[in-house]
């Protein structure tokens, strides 16, 4: 979905799926969630990730 206007189309699709009584907070949540998922996927595809063992160690957890 990387054509001109794809962001607007994606936003419309997300908003159209919200219930009629959705709040502005619901709209913002959907947009931020979408952005964060896309950013994470792009990072993963570019090998900009942190091994789970390193994250666990940082937080004092067992991997």
Give the pLDDT confidence of 11-20 residue by residue, as tens digits: 999 999 999 9
Q: What is the pLDDT of residue 3?
A: 63
Give domain status of residue 16, yes or no. Answer: yes
Please give the Cα distance from 53 to 63 (Å, whole number): 5
Instruction: Give me the number of domains the chain comprises.
Output: 1
| pLDDT tens-digit map of 18-47 | 999 999 999 999 999 999 999 999 999 999
Domain that holds residue 31: 6-58
Give domain status of residue 12, yes or no. Answer: yes
Give domain status of residue 63, yes or no. Answer: no
Please give the Cα distance from 26 to 29 (Å, whole number): 5
Neighbours of 26 (CB within 10 A): 13
What does the longest C-alpha to C-alpha distance in the chain come to? 45
Q: What is the mean pLDDT of residues 7-14?
A: 91
């Amino acid at each position: 979905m990387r054509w001109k206007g794809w962001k607007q189309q994606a936003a419309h699709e997300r908003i159209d799926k919200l219930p009629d009584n959705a709040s502005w907070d619901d709209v913002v949540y959907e947009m931020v969630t979408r952005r964060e998922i896309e950013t994470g996927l792009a990072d993963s595809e570019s090998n900009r990730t942190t091994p789970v063992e390193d994250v666990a160690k940082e937080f004092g957890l067992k991997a």
